[in-house]
Structure 1
Amino acid sequence: MFWIKHLNYKDASPILKKIYDRVSGPHQQIDNILMAHSLRPHTLTGHMALYKNIMHHTNNTLPKWYLEAIGVYVSFLNKCDYCVDHHFAGLKRLWGDQKKSDNFLMAMKENRLQDFFDPKWFKGLAYAHMLTLNPKKLSQHDIAHLRRINFSDGEILEINQVVSYFNYANRTVLGLGVHTEGDILGLSPNSSEDPDNWTHQ
């Protein structure tokens, strides 16, 4: 299934089973990216704590749809189809608009996101592009520019952390041959009010 051994729910140790119970979706569904951690359960808990706090925390001030859009874009830049498919499904659910979602996907693939997003949102994605593909070229001036277009420093940090998380997740997936077979696309622990709720819905 992946390039390394992994343990499903039935074969999991008691410790791993407890973590699986926390992250599972319908019918004990465990996303493959999470099951890829099964030989080192402590890294699974680290992954989930990071993901939950970066993407689904009540103290974030950027819209959740924007954080998902950044995740889809970073995954697209890294050619990580697994994360694109999962998070595009989540983005579609947040928008509740098939046409808008399809237009975003087309604009991303045709490198014309500036035509889809308002300038502020596009500039945040331009920072995500640079941080993903050419981080060495970033400077204080790029941060100053984001401030000038009314991103607060806290919001800049949110963008930075979403980009950094997805680069980590993409490399987990691409480096271990994780695929979407058997997954339910778009599930996430999106109960922002409870940071300890990792259930995928």
Structure 2
Amino acid sequence: MSWIKVIPFNQATGKLKSIYDKIKGPNNQIDNVLSIHSLRPHTLVGHMSIYKNTLHHSNNTYPNWFLEFLGTYTSFINDCDYCYKHHFEGMKRFLNDSEKANILKFHIENDSLDKILNEKELNIIDYTKNLTLKANSITEDNIKKLRDLGVTDGEILEINQVVAYFNYANRTVLGLGVNYDNETLGLSPNNKDDESSWSHK
């Protein structure tokens, strides 16, 4: 599962058990990216709060599939196979269109998104790539370009936070050897109107 000790669901007690009960999925599954926090439950609370509020909140403007697409792309360019596969499945589920999901996957993997995305979407991807691989290269001009293409400041913040979250999650996974053994991929919180609803379905 990982390179450090992890407390599984059936051995959890106290605060950790109460958090696990809140986030568990079918068959008491706790995604390995979350159970990796089991020795420090307070960081699991932090992770879940950021994850739910950046990716699965009703006040987001962008649809879930698009935010999952940004996460899938970020994870791919970070070589984070765990998050890439998890969030591709999440994107496909929210799209409810396997053909479109597989087309996006093909173009992510072949660095050819310019063949299927419009100018605004490509500039969002460019911002995503720069924030992930060379954040110090971003200038106010990049923000102005997004704004000129019709992306609002609130949407720019939304994109920034989703991409920043995935870089955090990718580094958690890659730095601790988290894998997806015995996991159902693509589960996520469904109740976007309740910030405290963390259960995975």
| Band of TM-score, shorter chain | over 0.9
Read off the aligned partner of 1:34 and give its amino acid letter: L
TM superposition shift of 1:110: 0.9
1:59-138 aligned within 5 A: 59-138=59-138
Give the gaps of 5 or more residues in structure 2: none
Counterpart CA distance in 2 for 1:86 and 1:191 is 19
Aligned partner of residue 181 in structure 2, secondary structure: coil
TM-score (norm 2): 0.98
Partner of 2:176: 176
Query: In structure 2, the residue corresponding to 1:167 is in which secondary structure?
Result: helix
Q: CA deviation at 1:31?
A: 0.3
Counterparts of 1:193 and 1:68, CA distance in 2: 18
Letter paired with 1:190:
N
TM-align CA RMSD: 0.8
Q: How many angstroms does 1:180 deviate by?
A: 0.5
Q: Quote how far apart the aligned CAs of 1:118 are.
A: 2.1
2:107 counterpart SS class: helix
Q: Which amino acid aligns with 1:24?
A: K
When the two structures are aligned, how many residues end up with a matched partner?
Answer: 201
Question: How big is each residue's C-alpha offset from its partner over 1:96-154, in whole Å with a ceiling of 9 and x where there is no partner?
Answer: 11211111111011111111222212211110000100111110000000000000000
Give the counterpart letter for 1:183 in structure 2.
E
SS in 1 for 2:126: helix
Distance in 2 (CA, whole Å) between partners of 1:2 and 1:109 is 26
In the alignment, structure 1 residue 147 sits paired with structure 2 residue 147: yes
Counterpart of 2:18? 18
Q: CA deviation at 1:190?
A: 2.6
CA distance in 2, matches of 1:105, 1:57: 25
The residue number in structure 1 matching 2:31 is: 31
1:157 equivalent in alignment to 2:157:
yes
Aligned-partner Cα distance in 1 for 2:130–2:139: 11
Letter in 1 for 2:140: Q
TM-score of the two chains, using structure 1 as the length reference: 0.98
Q: Quick one: which amino acid aligns to residue 133 of structure 1? A: L
Cα shift readout 1:176-197 (whole Å, capped 9, x = no counterpart): 0000001110000131111110
Q: Give the letter aligned to residue 45 of structure 1.
A: V
Distance 1:64 1:103 in 2: 18
